[in-house]
Amino acid sequence: MKILVTGANGFVGQALCKYHSKTSMDQVVAAVRRRGQVPGDITQKIVGDISGHTSWHEALDGVDAVAHLAGRAHVMRDTSADPLSAYQAVNTEGTLNLASQAAEAGVKRLVFLSSIKVCGEGQSRVSDDAYTERQSCSPSDPYAVSKHEAELGLREIARTTGLEVTILRPPLVYGPGVGANFLRLMQAVNRGWPLPFGGIDNRRDLIFLGNLVNAITLCTKHPAAANKTFLLADGEGLSTPALIRRIGAALNRPARLITVPPDWLHFAAGLAGKRMAIERLLGSLMVDSRAIRRDLAWQPPYSIEEGLAATADWFRQQQTKE
């Protein structure tokens, strides 16, 4: 089987290429904007910037399945004059252009890495229902809107062509190479900083990078994945204090948690212009991943402890390089 991986130099793309390079018999082609490092002897195809005008014909030659991971990532401080258009150009128009050319090239399946943010920003209480594939979507920022529009367009392409489409909506992905808020949280725990989240009662689902790679690989070939949408998670939602304690255990560092009323944290975050960042630490985001477990008999191959241990090993290696 020949698989085209877009975004092969990215966080998820590098891990997927590394997995295939080490353990898979499939032939993988890495589509990248510019030449970079990919594992093993994987062939690279330079496609340039992704938009509604990108030519994919050479990269799609002889391809059976596409794992479409490339996209404009969620930007915390977006300086674009028109953020929605900037996201749509890559995540919507770029995705649908690829899918149309894939259908013309006779590709059997395209797996699209979307986001749980298509469903919404989470739940206000732990007792609220988890997100499922069946409920209405409620994207609330330009990134999520662009992903949702891509999903709608992909379903239409699947309906009118022979291309099978599988849509995956993961929550926050952690693992070796992680950045953003998760990395900052690891740095704080490693430095022994007191963190004011001891009294937070929430639950957030995550997915380890190795589990996501496993699910993507399965969805490129499983017959029952055709034209389905799946939500993914490790399967053990954690409160923010529990996650911090698990990170501390993985790093062999004490988790220094203090209790500060959530209203105070909200107030302080508002003054600092970090309201959305604090919401991700205080609020709940629960994901029902039973559909992919039922339909594809998928089970995450790694536990949260194993995922955090691998992430901690990578983190320590980075610290020794600095």
pLDDT, tens digit, 9 for 90 and up, residues 165-209: 999 999 999 999 999 889 999 999 999 999 999 999 999 999 999
- The predicted pLDDT at position 271 comes to 74
pLDDT band at 143 (very low <50, low <70, confident <90, very high): very high
Q: Percentage of residues in the chain with pLDDT exceeding 90? A: 77
- The burial class, CB within 10 Å (0-12 / 13-18 / 19+), for 239 is middle
Rg (CA), the chain: 20
Q: Does pLDDT of 282 surpass 90? A: no
- The predicted pLDDT at position 49 comes to 92
- The predicted pLDDT at position 48 comes to 92
- The predicted pLDDT at position 78 comes to 59
Q: Does pLDDT of 77 surpass 60? A: no
Average pLDDT for the chain:
92
- The predicted pLDDT at position 319 comes to 84
Q: What is the pLDDT of residues 214-271, one digit of tens each?
A: 999 999 999 999 999 999 999 999 999 999 999 999 999 999 999 988 888 878 777 7
pLDDT band at 274 (very low <50, low <70, confident <90, very high): confident
- The predicted pLDDT at position 286 comes to 96
The structural domains of the chain, ordered by start, are: 2-173+208-233 (3.40.50.720)
Residues recognised as catalytic: 143
Residue 155 to residue 142: CA distance in whole angstroms: 20
How would you write the chain as a 3-class SS string? CEEEEECCCCHHHHHHHHHHHHHCCCEEEEEECCCCCCCCCCEEEECCCCCCCCCCCCCCCCCCEEEECCCCCCCCCCCCCCHHHHHHHHHHHHHHHHHHHHHHCCCCEEEEECCHHHCCCCECCCCCCCECCCCCCCCCCHHHHHHHHHHHHHHHHHHHCCCEEEEEECCEEECCCCCHHHHHHHHHHHCCCCECECCCCCCECEEEHHHHHHHHHHHCCCHHHCCEEEECCCCCCECHHHHHHHHHHHHCCCCCECECCHHHHHHHHHHCCCHHHHHHHHCEECECCHHHHHHCCCCCCCCHHHHHHHHHHHHHHHHHHC
pLDDT band at 13 (very low <50, low <70, confident <90, very high): very high
